[in-house]
Amino acid sequence: MPRTVFDHELSLLDAQMLVMASSMEEAVVSAVEVLEKRDEVLARKVIDGDDEIDRQEREVESLCLKLLLTQQPVASDLRHVSSALKMVGDMERIADQAADICETMLGVEGAFDRVLADHLRTMAEQACAMVHDAIEAFTTRDLEKARAVIEGDEGVDELFAKVKTDVVTAIQGNADPADNLVEALMTAKYLERIADHAQNVAEWVSYSFTGRYKGDLIG
């Protein structure tokens, strides 16, 4: 495969990655809105749209494998393609978690406890920002932004710990089943996983530049 053709295929890969990233980020933003407004129509749109994101993932994976099998890429190209292959897996899981949040909200009646609701709102805002910044780091090739996303995961983890503590305390206090404690904990876990996968995306963006993944030289 001539280099010009290979470069064209790399550009096509980046374009497909951006399409999938846009779909995934829209799902997360919508899921956060569902969490706040309990919009059933929007929730079902996110859930139904997950199949399309799965299809986009398969397209990116197929192109990555084509590039790896039909060309012997130099180290920087290999990092580019292998990073994309890893990133789409995390992006697909982020979209899954967004759909999971929407499914959970469809089964919730009434409001969450005020403190839990505040924690969930803050978690959602931080997780959504991490997703946005991780994708922006990829599209703009911004290593510093990727590193900032990686470091930002601790804040979401701390909030998840607070939610768990709140839920356990409420259960020990014989809380009313109508308080939706299990649903609040599930939602917090989904948000925590979204942040984790956003961190993973940022780690792979960093690897595509440096050849280091989570601080270890692997390429």
pLDDT for res 218:
41
Q: Which residues pair with 212 in a beta bridge?
A: 217
Q: What is the pLDDT of residue 211?
A: 85
With 0-12 / 13-18 / 19 or more C-beta atoms within 10 angstroms meaning exposed / middle / buried, residue 73 is middle
pTM over 0.85: yes
Q: pLDDT tens, 132-188?
A: 999 999 988 899 999 999 998 899 999 999 999 988 888 888 766 556 888 999 999
Contact (Cβ atoms closer than 8 angstroms) between residue 193 and residue 93: yes
